[in-house]
Amino acid sequence: MGTSGGIAFVASDASAAQDALAELRSIYGEHAIETAAMIVALGGDGFLLETLHRHQGLGVPIYGMHRGSVGFLLNAYEPRGLAERLARAVPVRIHPLEMRTEDVRGKHDTALAFNEVSLLRETRQTAKIRVSIDDVVRIDELVADGILVATPVGSTAYNFSAHGPVIPLGAGVLALTPISAYRPRRWRGALLPHAASVRFDILEAEKRPVSAVADFTEVRDVLSVTVREMTEVELTLLFDPEHNLEERVLKEQFLS
């Protein structure tokens, strides 16, 4: 990847990230994000997701370096030789999920998610949710704490904690994973074509309120939620060849 347009550095509020920001700027200088050829993000996975959301309209690659807590999506931090690392970095192109919601008051909202869209019960009572795929009802009534749709990038995050599958990036599928399902008791989720449109209808929405979350955006008291992959939106993450994301996703499937 070329660096002729300059590198813009961004960092989380963590002290390690701020120290790294100062060090990298002292070595490579500063470049305005608006005209940069690429962005180097310093922090953890959460901050990298924030960076994707904040700067998705720029269309420039993002290279993350680990200066936070969780660093699955990040490269190792090393201040020297950054131009050479960026020049040989492997690009991974990702598409976000689009979440469209309608709440019990009839209000509509839209948000994007690079990891997952999750539906979660708001009270002590379990949620009751009808699940439809491409306008075909697949589950009349899911009784559970919730359910989520995860991208391959997000399959190792909340989806994995909910016992969903880890998805290789080139598989062309999304994970549909229940969260603490009570009925159907033996349903463990499904793999869906990446072009599938998923609709959730909340049953007994007033009595059993449900919130919908797309990465950092939460909409409470939803009545219906639709989720689809936005192929028209594409972002590029950069990874060192020896620590590329494809290998990390594959390796994660063999860890105990």
Question: Does residue 159 fall inside a structural domain?
Answer: yes
Both tokens assigned to 186: 């033996």
Q: 182 versus 251: which is more confidently predicted? A: 182
Task: Say if residue 52 is in the same domain as residue 103.
Answer: no
Q: Is the pLDDT of residue 20 over 50?
A: yes
- Domain extent at residue 210: 97-229
Q: Is the pLDDT of residue 115 over 70?
A: yes
**Average pLDDT for residues 231-251, to the nearest whole number?**
82
**Average pLDDT for residues 9-33, to the nearest whole number?**
95
pLDDT, tens only, 140-150: 999 999 999 99
Beta strand segments in 160-243, E: 173-183, 190-193, 198-203, 210-214, 217-219, 222-229, 235-239
The residue assigned the tokens 């040989």 is 88
Question: Does residue 1 fall inside a structural domain?
Answer: no
The catalytic residue among 13, 45, 134, 140 is 45
Question: What residues have CB less than 8 Å from 13, skipping those under 6 apart?
Answer: none
**Residue 170: what pLDDT?**
78
Question: Does residue 12 fall inside a structural domain?
Answer: yes
Question: Is 45 among the residues known to form the active site?
Answer: yes
Q: Is the pLDDT of residue 4 over 70?
A: no
Beta strands 62-66; 38-43: pairing state? parallel
Task: Say if residue 106 is in the same domain as residue 119.
Answer: yes
pTM (2 d.p.): 0.86
For residue 184, is the peptide bond before it cis, meaning its omega torsion is within 30 degrees of 0? yes
Task: Say if residue 217 is in the same domain as residue 245.
Answer: no
Task: Say if residue 123 is in the same domain as residue 45.
Answer: no
**Residue 1: what pLDDT?**
43
Residue 105, strand partner residues:
none
Q: Is the pLDDT of residue 10 over 80?
A: yes
CATH number of the CATH domain containing 159: 2.60.200.30
**Residue 134: what pLDDT?**
98
pLDDT, tens only, 194-210: 999 999 999 999 999 99
Q: What is the DSSP letter of 237?
A: E
